[in-house]
Chains A and B, each alone.
Chain A
Amino acid sequence: MLRRWWWLLVLAIGPLEWVAHLYFAQRAPSFLEYRALEPRLRALKRSGDILLVAPEWAEPIARAALGDGWFSERDRGRLDLKRYPRAVVLKSLGQEAREVQSFRVVSSEAFGRFTLEVRENLGFEPLRADLAERISPATLGVALVLDSGERLACSWTTQAAVQAGGLAGPAAFPRARFQCPGGSERFVGLSILDDQDFRPRRCIWAHPPDNGYLELKFQDVPFGGHLFGAAGLTYLLTRDGAGADVQLEIWGEGKLLGRHLERDVLGWQPFAMALPARGSGSSFELSFRVRSEEASGRDFCFQAEIR
């Protein structure tokens, strides 16, 4: 039978492929369908929730359709999802948000070609401090500590020249930052770097000095809890692994709390440590020291949250 009629099977591929093409060309939701979601999402999303999109590649459509109130640099460049009590997941095309697979489904409903899920974070850890939100002279002091022991202050400015290197250059340099001696890239301030999955990491830029170390002293850090962080350099420019290691030391109450060694080939890596449980006052000073044997081009950046 097949030996006689095989050609009909081949011939059938043509029309079948055409029908499949028509189906797939219209399968994904349109921009206007995303825009129509807003009232329903408004009803579902509470303050503190994070909105996630599945498939992830569709997120720019949601950002364009729904606007800034729904997405932020902070959420997009997050350390992880632990600080969010709930996630509202906007699903289409049968795709899942892998990050929230462990979350409990509170509700799920169909909305046009979307499925809207609310999921509760069973591993929720209330945020006590996000150090990226504390980059200001009121809460942070920055200095270079040279091998000789000399301290060079990095001065706070809100009028620095904004820079952005494009594809092959450094990440964006913010207008507000602690500018250190040695060049425009030697500063402490907020930036967004790409990690080994090319995802955004909103982080504290802390370029090490050629001599000694860069010290960031955060004031009024609450006792107790744990410090969770991650650190790395922009992955695209350092993935060949040729750069020197960068060492991050974390100090509190005069003690070394922990070390993190950044190696280019590993990309962005997490770290965690316990903070002092109590001390003489209600809060303490938490210091970060950044150093490298070969500081040039070490556009180091780190995230740190206290929970």
Chain B
Amino acid sequence: MPFVWKHLSVALGLSVGFMALLLGTSEEIGYARDEGFYFQAAASYEAWFSLLFSEPSHALHGEVVARYWQVNSEHPALMKSLFALSHHFLYAKWHWFGTAGEAFRFPAMLISALGVGVLYLWGSETIGAFAAFTAALLFGFMPQVFHHAHLACFDMPVAALSLMTAYAYWKSLRHRSLFGALGVGLLYGLFLNTKHNSWLFPLVALAHFALLNHKVWLAKASGLQHSLRFPPALLGMLVLGPLTLYATWPWLWFETLPRLSAYAKFHLGHEYYNMEFLGRTYWKPPMPLGYAWLMTLATVPLVTLALFTVGLVNFARSLLPRSMQSVGVLRSLSSKLASIPLGSPTSAQLLWLLGVAVNYAPWWSSETPIFGGTKHWLTAYPFLCLFAGTGVRRIHARAQLLARSKTERQGFRVLLFTALLLGPISMTWHSVPFGLSAYTPIVGGASGAANLGLNRTFWGYTSRSLFNEINALAPPDARIYVHDTALQSFEQHRQEGGIRPDLEGTLDLAHSNLALYHHEPHMARVEYQIWSVYGTVRPVAIKLFDGVPVVWLYRRP
């Protein structure tokens, strides 16, 4: 089999395998709060698509577009459009999926799974197949990544599209073709239409371009003639990207600038949510500067971080001279950077480094809201894992030196693979369905995190784990107070048979029969209201993750 096809096959196998794992575990993971809102938006967009096919001229009228696309217009439309189309074709029309929710989730799962495959592909071109394969699995088997990859949300799709765009950009540097530039532009447009993390990507590309070309600029400044290696893809990205965003988000077709401005303002001036960190609930600036770093340490398997560190040190050593005298260091670094071929593996590594740095950059500011926790820097993780792959390659090379035969080399490889992936796979598999409550042993697991006062859960998705108890304990036609679960998410579960058809979700605690409570410190007041209204402090059912209470249920006596 030709080399390229071999790697494509492995990438496809990884994607299919990851997708199978996601589909196999999706039912256990309840619909998260925001999924409910996106289901609702997707239903509206689906109705518009139907109208577009039946009455195109009417559907394209400004007022009609506004009516259908205003729903959730604070977020871009690509994923919700895909949710809508998946629901329309794969569930309603072709019946590929047994539930609407699974069909809604399918596009995000697919893009996440493709992300794992693409990570392998890029790695196989730069750090070797074995290291790339390990890196792809290290990425897929981060508990938080695995959890978010299930959801009909944007966090994993945007991480995958960030990786895909960066990969395409790097490929285009090698080939410098118009086709490549157009492809990058198109891909960046889809990335833009996924989530606002995409706004940061031009910084990665521009910084990469600037670092590799800084000598040319310096020479130009000195009056010397040097040709600037300007990549057409950068232009393609900056021009075609916004055009693609415009073309694929009907909401922007009318009143474009005010609507774009409102979208930007929503995220730049986003309200501060509550987030527990080291026993304190943060809700306004200054946010703790250590948040992203400690939460990364607490939620990403240590072995992955150790391999990342090895990879990073290795990369730094390749750029820096052995003697660390200040002037010499800068001069040597400058020369090394300038000599990196644009489409080389070293150029790719520089892009990864910038990918990690820029995606973590907002967390250097104490003004950055910390709501949602780790999902906000998931976009850095593919690059982090590619660096971890570099670490794997280096350790692999060391181990191979000990082998005296082909059999021994194979044996070492299996041993290495097992040693590096046993923990991440085990931890990730164990975290289902409570992925957001999973913490690594470095903080003592879930119970250690609870002792430290780290966020227990959010988004109300854990209600799913109490459905058996709700169905068994609720009187006929009972009303269930859903607390942090969105009513739309609860209703989706009810329509799919997870909840008895006679039960109704409500936010009116005073007139409810059963009440859910999802623990976060600032939400404790809701539990106190349940005590007052129901006259009891005893939950009738409680779900623990590794001995830590995550969600519990009260029944009116």
* Chain A residues within CB distance 8 Å of chain B: 7, 10-15, 17-18, 20-31, 55, 57-58, 60-61, 63-64, 67-68, 71-73, 76-77, 93, 95, 161-167, 171-172, 174, 190-194, 198-200, 234, 236, 239-240
Contact = CB atoms under 8 A, between A and B. Distances in A.
Contact of B448 (A24, A198, A234): A24
A63 B507 contact: no
A55 B451 contact: yes
Contact of B301 (A17, A77, A239): A17
A21 B524 CA distance: 29
Contacts of B445: 21, 24-25, 27
Contact of A164 (B430, B451, B456, B509): B509
Given A13-B306, A76-B531, 16 more contacts: A14-B420, A17-B301, A23-B441, A24-B444, A24-B448, A30-B544, A31-B542, A57-B456, A60-B549, A67-B538, A73-B532, A77-B528, A164-B530, A167-B523, A198-B521, A236-B522
Nearest to A191: B532
Which of B446, B451, B547 is packed against the most chain A CB atoms within 10 Å? Answer: B547
Given A61-B544, A68-B538, A14 B419 contact: yes
A29 B426 contact: no
Nearest to A22: B426
A233 to B, nearest CB: 11
B380 interface: no
Contacts of B423: 14-15, 17-18, 21
Nearest to A192: B528
A28 B510 contact: no
Nearest to B302: A17
Interface residues of B, number: 64
Contact of A11 (B420, B524, B537, B546): B420
A270 B479 CA distance: 39
A198 B421 CA distance: 40
A13 B388 CA distance: 14
A171 B528 contact: yes
A13 B419 CA distance: 8
Interface stretch (B104-112, B239-247, B254-262, B393-401): B393-401
Given A24-B546, A31-B542, A10 B395 contact: yes
Nearest to A237: B525
B539 interface: yes
A63 B416 contact: no
B427 interface: yes
B528 A15 contact: no
Interface string B433-469: 0000000110011111011000010000000000000
B529 interface: yes
Nearest to B284: A240
A11 B450 CA distance: 29
A30 to B, nearest CB: 7
Contacts of A77: 528
Contacts, number: 180
B536 A171 contact: no
B120 interface: no
Contacts of B357: none
B283 interface: yes
Contact of A28 (B281, B391, B399, B548): B548
B281 A68 contact: no
B510 A57 contact: no
B538 A63 contact: yes
B437 to A, nearest CB: 12
A8 to B, nearest CB: 8
A234 B416 CA distance: 55
A14 B421 contact: yes
Contacts of A25: 430, 445-446, 546
Contacts of B421: 14
B254 to A, nearest CB: 33
A200 B529 CA distance: 10
A234 B525 contact: yes
B526 interface: yes
Given A13-B306, A18-B423, A239-B283, A63 B539 contact: yes
Closest 9 pairs between A and B when the two form their complex, measured CB to CB: A28-B547, A24-B445, A172-B532, A20-B441, A194-B525, A18-B423, A192-B528, A164-B509, A17-B423
Which of A12, A30, A95, A198 is packed against the most chain B CB atoms within 10 Å? Answer: A198
B551 to A, nearest CB: 10
B64 interface: no
12 contacts: A12-B419, A17-B423, A24-B546, A28-B547, A68-B537, A71-B538, A77-B528, A93-B447, A172-B529, A190-B532, A192-B531, A240-B284
Interface string B281-308: 1011000000000000000011100110
B441 A24 contact: yes
A167 B526 contact: yes
A303 to B, nearest CB: 14
A26 B301 CA distance: 18
B191 interface: no
A162 B510 contact: yes
Interface string B391-427: 1001100110000000000000000100111110011
B39 interface: no
Contacts of B541: 64
A26 B446 CA distance: 10
B203 interface: no
Contacts of B531: 73, 76, 192, 200
Given A13-B306, A31-B544, A64-B539, A18 B422 contact: yes
B310 interface: yes
Interface in B485-534: 507, 509-510, 519, 521-526, 528-533
B540 interface: yes
Interface string B301-335: 11100110010000000000000000000000000
Contacts of B48: none
B69 interface: no
Given A28-B548, A57-B450, A198 B281 contact: yes
Given A55-B451, A63-B539, A15 B422 contact: yes
Contacts of A167: 483-484, 522-523, 525-526
Contacts of B281: 198
Nearest to A72: B537
Given A64-B552, A234-B525, A14 B422 contact: yes
